[in-house]
Amino acid sequence: MKALHSLSQTVPVTIPDLQDRWARLSRRYFEDRLPSIRIEWSSRLTASSGMFVSQVGPRSRHVSREERHGAARCIRLSFPLLRHQPEAEIIRTLAHEMIHQWQYDIKKKCPNHGRDFSEMMLRMNQDGLGITIRHTLYEEVEKFCKYRWRCVACGMTYPRQRRTISPRRHRCGICSGPLREVFGSDQEERREPLSEAVHSISPMCRQSNQFEENLSPQQLAFNFSGY
């Protein structure tokens, strides 16, 4: 993952300022128990506005405690998605990833969006942070989507940053209709034969080879943890 180490004059919030905000949030909401962590701007993170990254499990016995709570994890923020966002959106993303850090470092859990995440999010939001489970930067994310598929039946478009949809295996998550890949300025369709196996997908889900279950239009978003 390429990080922006030499662009302190172009990032919307500098790393020292982010580290300072991290420290203040840690004292206020996490009893100052979070181990220090590296925060970096990433130029390649385009499907999520932020990400908590850990190279080993929270209970791994194969590395020292210093390594597990040191270089083995970091918080990455997306420079392409956040560069034109207000500072409040950046701090909101940082706070989201700090909850994941808390799950990993203190709760000894793999980061998730379960009950303890929601409880901590609600507590922090009482002070107006506005943390959410999924970000709303859909237009910014879609700019980086090189591939698109369209439902033949309802016309729903499925943008993706990688070619992770196969019309032979997947169907529209809205109406279960067949999908056709579209590409080029004229939106020409590339037809592929469809198999009988049906896997419904959502138009905006996390970039993965495993697609999420059917989602309503209000839920169509890129995941964060990956935020």
> Domains along the chain?
15-125 (3.30.2010.10), 145-219 (no CATH)
pLDDT-flagged residues of the chain (< 50): 1, 5-9, 186-225
Token pair of 88 as six digits: 């409040």
| pLDDT score of 169 | 86
Q: What is the CA radius of gyration of the chain?
A: 19
Which pLDDT value is given to residue 38?
A: 94
pLDDT value, residue 156: 86
pTM above 0.75, yes or no: no
For strands 157-160 and 147-151, give the pairing: antiparallel
Cβ contacts of residue 227 below 8 Å, gap of 6+? 48, 49, 50, 51, 93, 96, 97, 134, 135
What contacts 101, CB < 8 A, 6 or more positions away? 34, 37, 52, 73, 75, 111
Answer for the pair 10, 43: CB distance below 8 angstroms, yes or no: no
pLDDT score of 141? 61
Is-contact 94 21, C-beta < 8 A? yes
pLDDT at 20: 97
Token couple for 110: 């793999």
pLDDT at 214: 34
Structure tokens at 180: 């056709």
Per this entry, what is the length of the chain? 227
